[in-house]
Amino acid sequence: MKIERLARKGILKIASYVPGKSIEEVERELGKKRWVKLASNENLLGPSPKALEAIRKELPNIHLYPEGPCTILRQVLAEKFSLPERRVVISNGVDNIILLIASAFVNEGDEVVMADPTFPVYTNVTQIMGGRVVKVRLKDFTHDLDGMLRRVTRKTKVVFICNPNNPTGTIVTQRAFDRFLSRIPDHGIVVLDEAYRDFNEDPSCPNGLDYIKKRAQVIVLRTFSKVYGLAGLRIGYALGREDLIDCLYQVRDPFPVHRLAQVAAIAALNDTGHAIRSIQVVCEGRRYLYKELERMGLSYVPSQANFIFIDLKRDSEEAFRSFLEEGVIIRPGKIWGYPTFARVTIGRMKDNERFIKALKKVVKQRR
């Protein structure tokens, strides 16, 4: 029997998520080199030493199943945010929580509204569940909330807002978000993805916690991958009203988060010094990169995340290959519909300086 008749309807047409090139992948293609990866918005300071120590202590126990509900970590997060534990769910990275949201709330034919471009996993999970993806083009690289409201219908079940947005790093303001939320019908759930919020310096940016405490029909997503440097352990969480979070537990795996990730996350939360240093590195790096880009006459999108969306003024796929020759891995913007742009992670100062040195060579080639 043909696979088209066996597979779930529509999944064979889904465009697979393409992550940034890993160092291992590049080494297999081009050989070993002193690579710097600026393609996936990772914390180049690495994880907290306290997280590493917690992992070492937990290693002898990996023959045992993890504690399914992540009770201790939930308690720590609930206390940190002054929320009841029932408003917290933890899973195998924010990607998995996005899938849980689609599994719990999106029926076949339901509409899911999102920006274009934004994090592509929103599209993928909607298509898996047979929902209809409704994309609204960014306006000045930022969510067009008025345009998104115009696309909300009686069939709209979920609206995704990535704030700061990936790949542009832009934010919607609290005033704009409040207005937007007040006009969303009660059959719609707003998902506020705050994976990059820790790096925000704009006081007008909304804080998802405020809406959870008001019991709004909002689910807030956060991650340990960015500021806490635990991307390789895959651990993220959602905050929301009890009835919404209960629905996510209905579709959640019994053991989605392994033992090492749980203890590392708890230790990372207790190392505020490492988190503060990680944020400082990004804020200082942003200012340095802005200054260097302006000196070179290159335009960029001002960012509140740990990356910058830069117009290289040339085909970014070609530029990507040129950067590889310099040992630098970036993320070309073609997949988001911006063929001359690249998304570049902000790293340690030595990483940023190395990027600028490579960029000067790449720009020179264009001329």
* Interval 83-98: pLDDT, tens: 999 999 999 999 999 9
Q: Is 60 helix (H, G, I), strand (E, B) or coil?
A: helix
* Interval 163-186: pLDDT, tens: 999 999 999 999 999 999 999 999
HSE, side-chain direction, 13 A CA sphere, residue 137: 4
Q: Which residue has the higher pLDDT, 367 or 76?
A: 76
Q: What pLDDT score was predicted for residue 367? A: 54
Q: How many percent of the chain have pLDDT more than 90?
A: 89
Provide the token pair at 67. 């504690």
Q: What pLDDT score was predicted for residue 8? A: 85
Superfamily grouping for domain 3-46+273-366: Aspartate Aminotransferase, domain 1 (3.90.1150.10)
- 306 pLDDT band, cuts 50/70/90, is very high
CATH of domain 49-271: 3.40.640.10
Q: What pLDDT score was predicted for residue 135? A: 98
Q: What pLDDT score was predicted for residue 46? A: 97
- 19 pLDDT band, cuts 50/70/90, is confident
Q: What pLDDT score was predicted for residue 7? A: 86
Mean pLDDT of 43-67: 97
pTM over 0.75: yes
* Interval 247-256: pLDDT, tens: 999 999 999 9
Q: Which residue has the higher pLDDT, 24 or 117?
A: 117
Kindly state the helix (H) or strand (E) to which residue 49 belongs, with its residue range. helix 49-58
Mean pLDDT of 358-363: 93
Per-domain boundaries in the chain: 3-46+273-366, 49-271
Q: Is the torsion defined by CA of 353, 355, 358, 362 positive or negative?
A: negative
Mean pLDDT of 216-231: 98
What is the C-alpha separation between 109 and 128, in angstroms, rounded?
Answer: 11
Q: Classify residue 63 by its DSSP letter.
A: T
Location of structure tokens 């063929």: 339
Residue 32 has pLDDT above 80, yes or no: no
Beta-sheet strands, E only, within the chain: 36-37, 88-91, 111-116, 132-137, 156-162, 189-193, 218-223, 236-240, 300-301, 307-311, 328-329, 331-332, 341-345
* Interval 178-207: pLDDT, tens: 999 999 999 999 999 999 999 999 999 999
Q: What pLDDT score was predicted for residue 26? A: 79
Q: What pLDDT score was predicted for residue 198? A: 98
What residues contact residue 174 under an 8 Å CB cut-off, 6+ apart?
A: 204, 205, 206, 207
Q: Is 328 helix (H, G, I), strand (E, B) or coil?
A: strand
Mean pLDDT of 264-283: 98
Mean pLDDT of 317-346: 96
Question: For residue 89, what are the CA distances in angstroms to 84, 122, 191, 224, 226?
Answer: 11, 19, 14, 13, 18
What is the C-alpha separation between 66 and 58, in angstroms, rounded?
Answer: 11
Mean pLDDT of 24-36: 81
- 125 pLDDT band, cuts 50/70/90, is very high
Q: What pLDDT score was predicted for residue 289? A: 98
